[in-house]
Amino acid sequence: MENGTNPLGNIYVSHRAIASIAYLVAQETYGVVGLTAKNLAEGLANVIVKDPTLGVDVAYNNGLIEINVYIIIEYGTRITSVANSVASNIRFKVEKAMGLPANDVLINVHVRGLRISNTD
């Protein structure tokens, strides 16, 4: 993805770099237990090779960055609040890191499951 042009040349940011930012931000968001694979094939591939961007897909379409995040939420938390918090936190961090305006980043949060914490 081309992020900017200056007199010395162009700046390109990889999809993987953006996915890494989204992964770390999602992990830090209250109510998120973890991220999960979007499908079985990706899940099996992650067993073989640990991927630090598991559960995050990034696409770049006509100047718009689209990020899909697949999360597992803590049972007992408000699902919509956690999903909205994940989306706004990722949007803020990606915009800040990339220097993009707010309408250039689209976040889709997919809740794949709920997990009950160990009460011990």
**Residue 13 confidence (pLDDT):** 83
**Residue 7 confidence (pLDDT):** 78
**Closest of 87, 113, 81 to residue 102, by C-alpha:** 87
**Euclidean distance between CA atoms 52 and 3, whole angstroms:** 23
Going along the chain from its start, the domains and CATH numbers come out as: 2-115 (3.30.70.1350)
Question: Is the predicted pLDDT of residue 2 greater than 70, yes or no?
Answer: no
**Residue 53 confidence (pLDDT):** 78
Q: Select, from the ranges 31-40, 61-70, 100-109, the one with the highest average predicted confidence (pLDDT).
A: 61-70
Q: What is the DSSP letter of 105?
A: E
**Residue 10 confidence (pLDDT):** 79
- The overall pTM is greater than 0.85: no
Q: How far is CA 83 from the centre of its chain?
A: 11
Type and span of the H or E element at 67: strand 64-74
Taking a C-beta distance cutoff of 8 angstroms, is the pair 109, 86 a contact? yes
Please write the tens of the pLDDT for every residue from 83-113.
999 999 999 999 898 887 767 889 999 999 8
Taking a C-beta distance cutoff of 8 angstroms, is the pair 45, 86 a contact? no
Cβ neighbours of 27 (radius 10 Å)? 14
Percent of the chain past pLDDT 90, that is, above it, reads 48
42-68 average pLDDT score: 75
